[in-house]
Amino acid sequence: MADIISSYTPGQLLSTLAATSISDDLKLLHSRVRISLPTDIRARSPAYLTLAELTEILSYKLAIGVNRPFLKGMLKKNSDASVRAVSTRAFAVAGLDGVDTRWEDLKSALDIIFELTGVGPALGTLVFSLLYPKGVPFFSDETAVELLKPTGGRHGLKYSVKEYKLMWDELGALVEKINARGEEGSGRVGRGDVERAIWTLVRHSAVDVEGESQGAKATKSAKRKAKDEDEPIEAPPKVAKRTRSSRKT
């Protein structure tokens, strides 16, 4: 997938994101967590999260990844007041918006949100990726496995900040390649955009009832939207079906 993504122009990558399909059982939660919740948070001055909202984000994470229900119990050890206070400080860190998010700024914000019980690199990066979707990538299993290729696949991931930084650097290299192919004034993509594109292609490579993979459909749509750009888009390969694990993230 990374090889395919690296050949994209910014327009082709954004077309892939626009073609993402969400399963019916996830549409309501996806709309709430990805669309309406970030809008609600940004409308507050200062911005903050409630415990209920953080639990919603965790529910979304568990729904799209490996279900580890014990994590909800860990989150409940936090009070609503502590979640509001810690998230207010974390969201006050400057420099996270846009495509040029700096690692130093994100690391500062993550260190604050990690003060909450049950919030590690995976959940913490998901929180910031919702508010800053262009520049902050979610530490997803799919993207980490694709870029880091750990022994044992997902089971070899340690879900550490060090590992996330390696993924961050790999995404940065892809961002440079993709943006270098863009025409002047065509816009640029960030690490968050690239992470979601990889996630989309990996997750939607499973064959649907019509015998065509969702990844292939996304690629075809990207081809149609970017047909004026001469670079062809290669169809993504199939990936192995995900299995469940009790590993903590």
The pLDDT tens digits for 76-128 are: 999 999 999 999 999 999 999 999 999 999 999 999 999 999 999 999 999 99
CA 153 vs. chain centroid, Å, equals 18
Report whether pLDDT(152) > 70. yes
- Report the candidate in 144, 241, 137, 114 with the shortest Cα–Cα distance to residue 196: 137
Q: What is the pTM of this model?
A: 0.81
Q: What is the pLDDT of residue 232?
A: 44
pLDDT of residue 199: 92
Percentage of residues of the chain with pLDDT beyond 70: 82
Say if residue 209's pLDDT is above 80: no
Q: Are 96 and 136 in contact (CB under 8 A)?
A: yes
For the record, the structure tokens of 74 come out as 């860990």
Residue, of 170 and 216, whose pLDDT is higher: 170
Torsion of CA 136, 137, 138, 144, to 10 degrees: -150
> In the prediction, which pLDDT does 249 show?
55
CA–CA separation, 17 and 246 (whole Å): 30
